[in-house]
Amino acid sequence: MKAAKSPATVEKTAAQPAKKPAPKTPRKRAPVPPPKPYHHGNLRDSLLDAADAVLLTHGASGITLREVAKAAGVSHAAPYHHFASLDDLLATVAERGFQRLIAALEPTTRLTNSRERLLQISEVYVNCARAHPSQFRLMFGPLLSRKREFPALQIAAERSFGMVVAAATALDPRRGTELALLGWSLCHGLSHLLIDGALEGMSMPLPPTALLARQLTERALDGGG
């Protein structure tokens, strides 16, 4: 058996202060990661889609970056991540409109009949205008005269008209540019008349709207006869 401790020993032991725990080595803080860049899915395309939607209700003259940001569900400052100004955004929307027109005209380039090619181009042009009236007005609005400030818009606009010139030149090499301007003017004016409803309720007989562009273009190619 172990010998019992004497009272003096017990008293001495109790009087000894408890040992302090060894100080903990301070932990190194993890480096703070840099702030993440602004992220909203594909912000650029979201803003362009929102601009298309705002155009339908406000028109090109009433659209603002604030309205576009609101429609896209982002902060008012978000559009400046991709567009320097409202005009920069609208020029890109107009460019997308010309790209859509180019894609619609592309099948006509495979036609070997030059006359039929021009007739189909006239139909495509008017159909695109009727399907996207707000974008159509923007495409050929004041920004078009400033297209050199927006190289992508200039390229798309000139390429679309170049497709018309190529088709007209294939039909008549000598008067290709003149025919292209004639066809463009005819289809552009007809597009505005249709999307503005100017031909509705007229007393004079008119062919069905779907055939109107083709028939008028045929008359123009035949010299109005």
pLDDT mean for each 10 residues of the chain (225 residues): 52 53 56 45 89 91 91 91 94 97 97 97 97 96 96 98 97 95 96 94 86 94 76
What domain range is 64 assigned to?
A: 43-83
Is residue 5 one of the residues assigned to a domain?
no
Residue (of 98, 201, 207) closest to 217 by Cα position: 207
pLDDT of residue 205: 86
Q: How many domains does the chain have?
A: 2
pLDDT of residue 36: 40
* CA 90/CA 85 separation, integer angstroms: 9
* CA 224/CA 205 separation, integer angstroms: 18
Q: One-letter amino acid identity for 50?
A: A
Is residue 198 one of the residues assigned to a domain?
yes
Same domain, 95 and 172: yes
Same domain, 98 and 134: yes
- Cβ atoms 121, 177 nearer than 8 A: no
pLDDT of residue 180: 96
Q: Identify the burial level of 134 via C-beta atoms within 10 angstroms of its C-beta, where 0-12 means exposed, 13-18 middle and 19 or more buried.
A: buried
Is residue 1 one of the residues assigned to a domain?
no
Of 57, 83, 109, which residue constitutes the final position of a domain?
Answer: 83
Tokens of 60: 């090109």
pLDDT of residue 122: 97
Of 83, 108, 139, which residue constitutes the final position of a domain?
Answer: 83
